[in-house]
Structure 1
């Protein structure tokens, strides 16, 4: 049975990440099902960091991502490789931090309230299997700290 997360509402961003890391590790420890782990990670990040939207897009074919577990408003179901922030992160195999999504060429507006975004590729066995997508309803809300901690969380995946 899962336990409630310890949420540090008044903590700094770094303190929140530091608190969430061991909690997420505990949530996914011993679980080998990818969808179950992604679902718990999305819920933990949404609750713990108070993100506007957090979720995963998984590689469905050689040129398309499909929506996976997420928390937040309804999302786009499919994204082509190289399109939008998620498809571009996948295509370029790198983390993208977008301070203002309205200024990103070809941004796919799944939710009009989304203002900034960070997307990290998920790599397993030297192959991208999907991306972690986090949106904020504030401009310029993501930085290298988010990148470092979100990467550590993805590295916990079995």
Structure 2
């Protein structure tokens, strides 16, 4: 196998790893891991998915703001995010990633309730040394099941 193919495969895995770090950071409530997936000036847009769940969620700009907002909005929930079907397109030091993410949300205070969403993530990334960082993430919803009020549990 040529070194060009090996480098391309390594880049594709590194791009996908950024989304894995994002999801695992949320699920593990690990703010450092979540932050490690994001560029300093990243933009997070959950509006399309939130609208389908019946609520407003603003566009969030900046690594620190995204980490703080996701940490606060999911503080009372146990979550599990499963990433599948990643498709990567790399152009120099930028990349696009399209993936499906299934997100389960369960209130810690009432584990009998849940809200599950199958979302499409449209992710833009930038190379930063040996890692890739998310510069923009737009999340749209494909289907959902359960009680959407779970997302507003305080």
| TM-score, with structure 1 as normaliser | 0.28
- Whichever structure has more strand as a proportion of its residues is 2
